[in-house]
Amino acid sequence: MGASIRKSKMVSFRLAPADYLRFREICTARGVDSMSDLARIAMESFATSEARPDSISSEIRDLRSQVRSLTLELDRISQLVEARKSA
């Protein structure tokens, strides 16, 4: 994140110890300098159209639909395999 930009406002929140450790690991894995930078990146991402709740809901609906389709296809394949075993 831009270290040269003067930041004068502060936002504070608490995390469970397990969440804190998980987010520290994310910082390390993604090369993010600090938890503050990670929080800023996450908030910026959430503020964009890509991460809006209505967009997320739409993505969840799409994923559910795909899972349903895959389940039906697996059932169909399973029935074919069973039919071949019986024949």
Q: Is residue 84 part of a domain?
A: yes
Q: What share of the chain is helix, strand, coil (3-state, %, to 5)?
A: 75, 0, 25
User: Is the same domain home to 20 and 39?
Assistant: yes
User: Is the same domain home to 56 and 87?
Assistant: yes
Cα separation of 22 and 44, whole Å?
20
User: Is the same domain home to 40 and 22?
Assistant: yes
Q: How confident is the model at residue 60 (pLDDT cuts 50, 70, 90)?
A: confident
Q: Is residue 6 part of a domain?
A: no
Q: How confident is the model at residue 3 (pLDDT cuts 50, 70, 90)?
A: low
Which one has a higher pLDDT value, 5 or 34? 34
Q: Is residue 80 part of a domain?
A: yes
Range of the domain at 43: 15-49
User: Is the same domain home to 56 and 86?
Assistant: yes
